[in-house]
Amino acid sequence: MAGSAQLNGKGYEWKKVRIRRFVTGWVNYFKLADMKTLLTAIDEWLRVRPRTYIWKCWKTIKNKYRNLRKLGVTQRNAGIMANTRKGYRRAADSPIVKLAISKERLKKAGYTFFLDCYASVKV
């Protein structure tokens, strides 16, 4: 996932840095509040953003199919998802893409999320 693919002239690393700065600053500002349930909902929304970047960078049906297969999606589901007419955001929020680009894979790729940052700050 962390290849040289670019979106608007900037790669995945630039997006990771922007998300990390935003999340860290926001959590440090509001760290005194008890907001675990709120952050769970926000994290769910935030995880769709990197999936959208990744989905958009794959561009062609052939690349989408190939990358979904590499990530463990069945042949049938990869074909269905690669040929979808949904928009980028809606496709990235589908169960098939959520399964392929999971929360754990995003964390491993270096994306920062609210609950992780909140757990490290909250004492």
Report yes or no on 2 lying in a domain: no
Report yes or no on 115 lying in a domain: yes
Report yes or no on 5 lying in a domain: no
Report yes or no on 4 lying in a domain: no
Report yes or no on 15 lying in a domain: yes
Q: 73 falls in which pLDDT band (50, 70, 90)?
A: very high
Report yes or no on 54 lying in a domain: yes
Report yes or no on 107 lying in a domain: yes
Average pLDDT over residues 68-90: 96
- pTM (2 d.p.): 0.80
Average pLDDT over residues 25-37: 86
Where in the sequence is the domain holding 65, given as residue range(s)? 10-121
DSSP string, 18-72: HHHHHHHHHHHHTTTS--HHHHHHHHHHHHHHHHHHHHHHH-SHHHHHHHHHHTT
pLDDT of residue 2: 44
